[in-house]
Homo-oligomer: A and B are copies of this chain.
């Protein structure tokens, strides 16, 4: 399937019922990732039916506990369940030492490699890339070094018009070029236009994760530059707690809505609400005047970006 996200943990530092610490499951064309991995993630993944041996990479936004205390437990369980495939972890550099020392003390000799990819404090740019997807890291504005992540599908291949192509009797070696949007010259020196044999490619989608962060112009410029479709932005506080948000370097509902509006995204999910809020309604009421296409991130819910945009 095309780019999709499932919310696994959408609470903040103090977990409560249906508000576990941060984790999201992002997948796209058989690629499987987590963003953040708060305490209890492995339990929530099971609850929501995510096969965690499929996960190939984990992106950690920052080293506040509610964003990574579940990582070493998840890795341990992967080991106990017989994992052999390497896993990639993209995180602040200090994480490697913590994870490795806990695994060593437990006496586990993992049968799979953990490859740490350090994201230094001031790093911004592509941290993962293959032929389908790229992941960009960019700076958020929080009490300790923190990064957001943009998952962006690459330009897709044009669709072959199978019947037309086969009728023309051309070499199948031409298919790839046509799909890439290139014309071809055959042995007889005749030029064939890709436009005759392919239809336009499907659109590519993108998704951004911004948590934890205060309101930040840098975030807006990244979202704009990469033409992000769907944004998850933290909204720890309601607008009336603006001072508290500032002090703790978190966002209010209005901050989240403003970032969405200014950056031109098409849809906003908000989460990471302080444990003081039992319901989403205050936040929704405050965001709607600023940005219309908004929903709370609810644990367990799963969205294909393409479908979400079609419906809104």
A interface residues (Cβ-Cβ under 8 A, vs B): 13-16, 20-21, 39-40, 42-43, 46, 63-66, 69-70, 72-73, 76-77, 80-81, 94, 97-98, 101-102, 105-107, 143-144
Contact, CB under 8 Å: A14 / B81: yes
Contact, CB under 8 Å: A65 / B16: no
Contact, CB under 8 Å: B77 / A144: no
Contact, CB under 8 Å: A65 / B102: yes
Chain copies in complex: 2
CB distance from A255 to the nearest CB of B (A): 21
| Among candidates B13, B80, B102, residue contacting A80 with C-beta atoms closer than 8 Å | B13
A-B contact pairs, 10 of them (CB 8 A): A13-B80, A15-B77, A16-B46, A39-B69, A65-B72, A65-B73, A69-B76, A94-B101, A98-B98, A98-B102
| Among candidates B16, B65, B73, residue contacting A106 with C-beta atoms closer than 8 Å | B65
A143 cross-chain contacts in B, Cβ below 8 A: 107
A101 cross-chain contacts in B, Cβ below 8 A: 94, 97-98
A77 cross-chain contacts in B, Cβ below 8 A: 13-15
A64 cross-chain contacts in B, Cβ below 8 A: 106-107
Are A65 and B76 also in contact (CB < 8 A) when A98-B102, A105-B94 are?
yes
A13 cross-chain contacts in B, Cβ below 8 A: 76-77, 80
A21 cross-chain contacts in B, Cβ below 8 A: 73
Q: In whole angstroms, how far apart are the Cα atoms of A114 and B77 in the complex? A: 29
A65 cross-chain contacts in B, Cβ below 8 A: 72-73, 76, 102, 106
The 3 residue pairs across chains A and B that have the minimum distance between CB atoms: A39-B73, A63-B105, A40-B40
A40 cross-chain contacts in B, Cβ below 8 A: 39-40, 43
Contact, CB under 8 Å: A15 / B43: yes
Q: Which of chain B's residues has its CB closest to A39's CB? A: B73
| Among candidates B39, B66, B73, B106, residue contacting A144 with C-beta atoms closer than 8 Å | B106
CB distance from A158 to the nearest CB of B (A): 46
Other A-B contacts than A21-B73, A40-B43, 10 sampled, CB-CB below 8 A, are A14-B80, A15-B77, A16-B46, A39-B69, A63-B102, A65-B73, A69-B69, A69-B72, A69-B73, A98-B98
A39 cross-chain contacts in B, Cβ below 8 A: 39-40, 42-43, 69-70, 73
Are A107 and B144 also in contact (CB < 8 A) when A14-B80, A46-B16, A98-B101 are?
yes
Q: In whole angstroms, how far apart are the Cα atoms of A94 and B106 in the complex? A: 11
A43 cross-chain contacts in B, Cβ below 8 A: 15, 20, 39-40
